[in-house]
Amino acid sequence: MSARQCLLVLLALMLLASSVSLVYVQYLRRSLYSEYKTLQTEQDRMEVQWGQLQLEASTWAAEDRIEDLAVTRLKMQVPQADAVVVVAPQ
C-alpha cells in the first residue's frame, strides 16, 4: 500500500469519525433541548403555584378575617375603655 493510499484511508476514517461525532452532538443537543423545555414548563407551573400560595397567604392573614375569627370562634371582643389598664414604663 502506497503512502497516498494510506493517506486516503486515514482521511476517510477521519471523515467517518467526524460524521459520527456530528450525529452524536446533534442527538445530545436535541436531548438537552427537550430536557430544557420540560424544566421550563415545570418552572412556569411552579411560578403559578407560588403566586397562588402568596394570594392564599395574604387572604389568610387579612386583618378583617383575623378579626372575624377572633369574634366568632374565640368569642373575643374589644374591651371597654374603663377596663383598659395602661402600664407605664419604669
Q: Is 64 part of a structural domain of the chain?
A: yes
Half-sphere exposure of 34 (CA within 13 A, CB side): 6
30 occurs within a structural domain: yes
pTM: 0.58
In a domain, 85, yes or no: no
Look at residue 86 and tell me if it is in a domain: no
Domain count for the chain, please give it: 1
Give residue 56's identity as a one-letter amino acid code. Answer: E
* Amino acid 90: pLDDT: 84
Measured distance CA(56)–CA(9) in Å, rounded: 70
Q: Is residue 7 part of a domain?
A: no
The predicted structure's pLDDT at residue 21:
98
Q: What is the pLDDT along the chain (90 residues), one digit of tens a residue?
A: 899 999 999 999 999 999 999 999 999 999 999 999 999 999 999 999 999 999 999 988 889 888 988 999 999 998 998 889 999 998
* pLDDT of res. 1: 82
Tell me the C-alpha distance between 14 and 1, whole Å. Answer: 19
State the residue range of the domain holding 52: 13-74
